Amino acid sequence: MAKAKTSAFFCQNCGYESSKWMGQCPACREWNTFVEELVDRKALSTSGKIKPVTEAKPVPLSAIKTSDEERISTSMPELDRVLGGGVVKGSLVLVGGDPGIGKSTLLLQVCRNLSGQNLSVLYVSGEESLQQIKLRAERIGTFSDHLELLCETSLDTIRTVIERNKPQIVVIDSIQTMYNENVSSAPGSVSQVRESTGVLMQIAKGMDISIFIVGHVTKEGVVAGPRVLEHMVDTVLYFEGDRHESYRILRGVKNRFGSTNEIGVFEMRTEGLVEVENPSEYMLSGKPKDASGSVVACSIEGTRPILLEIQALICHSYFNNPRRTATGTDFNRVNLLMAVLEKRIGMQLSDCDAYVNIAGGIRMNEPAIDLGIVLAIMSSKLDLTIDEKTICFGEVGLSGEVRGVSMAEQRVAEAAKLGFEVCILPKVSLPSVGKKYAMKLIGVANVREALDAIQA
Residue numbers in the known binding site for ATP are: 97-104
**Cα–Cα distance between 368 and 407 in angstroms, integer?**
10
**Cα–Cα distance between 260 and 262 in angstroms, integer?**
6
Residue 17 sits at φ, ψ, to 5 deg, of -105, 135
Residue 452 sits at φ, ψ, to 5 deg, of -65, -35
**Cα–Cα distance between 361 and 143 in angstroms, integer?**
33
> Angle at CA 360, nearest 5°, toward 407 and 300?
10
**How many residues are given for the chain?**
456
Q: Which residues are annotated binding-site positions?
A: 97-104
**Quick check: 255 and 83 in contact, CB under 8 A?**
yes
Measured CA distances, 365 to 66, 95, 419 (Å): 35, 22, 25
**Cα–Cα distance between 403 and 395 in angstroms, integer?**
5
